Structure 1
Amino acid sequence: MKFAKIAQKLALWTGSPSTFLGAIILILLWGFSGPIFGFNDTWQLVINTSTTIITFLMVFLIQNTQNRDTDILHLKVDELLRVTKEAQNAMLGLEALDLKELEALRKHYRSLGEGQTISIDGTVVQEKGKQDLNKC
């Protein structure tokens, strides 16, 4: 649980404009220090190593944040499905399906919507001939 709190705070901090500005300033300082160090290999190694380490750590931070956001989104959609009378409650367990089952379900829902155009208010405006939803 501590990792989740730390990761969330780090994600907020690293995504802030002030952190971005700080990174730009550090890169400029590094660039301006080039003539002082004669643009040698060690000078280049500092920025290469630093950016590699930061990138490596950020991958895990971003993945953690994305997993958390996905879980939250799933819970919200599950709640909407649960309280909607017309919804199929079987949709609440889609995470347990394998890729073939998900693709079959996706094809089923595509076929339900084929040939219909929906207005902004959600009403069916007109029915057309079959259209290829893969082009959407």
Structure 2
Amino acid sequence: MDQTREALVKPTSNTAAFFAHLAERITKFSGTTLAFCLALGLVLLWALTGPLFQYSETWQLVINTGTTIITFLMVFLIQRAQNKDSLVLHLKLNELIAATKGASNRLINSQDFTEDEINILHQYYCLLAEKAQKENDLGRTHTVEEAEENHQEKVEAHHSKKAVAHHG
């Protein structure tokens, strides 16, 4: 491991590593057919026991409390999984931006930009899309700067042709 990476990697405590492993396993399991079938089976078992407990308030409270607790805990596990997936996706995109010649390094870690900065970039890319559409060449890509230069060159060339035609 190189020195830069060693400086970035923080040791994980045993408790954090255990929780991360447990959360990942529960999250993966909760998305399986078996988990769905178990949940469905519990609901059916609860429904079938209704007559046995005369559909009492306690019988109803069991399913309400159980589903509320499970839902409450799953919200946090799902959010944790989404945060991890999102971070990994951002890292992969950052790697592609950093490795691609001509890509704007300004976009690395753009997930940390303010909403105003994101809106400004969105406007630039809308402008870029308009310019690319006007060129009728879907195979050509640009950075915003290249698009600006190309557009300016075309405008100047067009004005030059008009001036020559007008004077000639």
What TM-score range do you get, normalising by the shorter chain? 0.7 to 0.9
Q: Which runs of 5+ in 2 are unaligned?
A: 1-16, 141-168
Structure showing greater Rg: 2
**Cα offsets for 1:60-90 (capped at 9, x unmatched):** 0000000000011011111111111010111
- 1:7 corresponds to which letter in structure 2? A
Aligned residues: CA RMSD: 1.7
- Superposed CA offset, 1:115-135 (max 9, x none): 628xxxx516xxxxxxxxxxx
Displacement of 1:6 in angstroms is 1.4
Cα offset, 1:8, TM superposition: 0.8
- In the alignment, structure 1 segments of 5+ residues that lack a partner are 125-136
| Distance in structure 1 (CA, Å) of the matches to 2:110 and 2:18 | 29
Q: Which has the higher strand share?
A: 1
Q: Which has the higher contact order (CA 8 A, sep 6+)?
A: 1
Shift, 1:46, TM fit: 0.1
More helix by share: 2
- Aligned counterpart, 1:99: 115
Residues 64-83 of structure 1: pairs in structure 2 closer than 5 A:
64-83=80-99
CA distance in 1 between counterparts of 2:123 and 2:115 reads 12
| AA in 1 matched with 2:113 | L
* Aligned equivalents of 1:34, 1:93: Cα separation in 2: 54
Does the 8 Å CA contact 2:97/2:104 hold for their aligned counterparts? Answer: yes
- Which of 14, 23, 32 aligns to 2:39? It is 23
Counterpart of 2:156? none
Per-residue Cα deviation, 1:7-57 (whole angstroms, up to 9, x for no partner):
111101111110100100110010010000000000000000000000000
Counterpart residue number, 1:9: 25
| CA distance in structure 2 between the aligned counterparts of 1:56 and 1:112, rounded to whole angstroms | 44
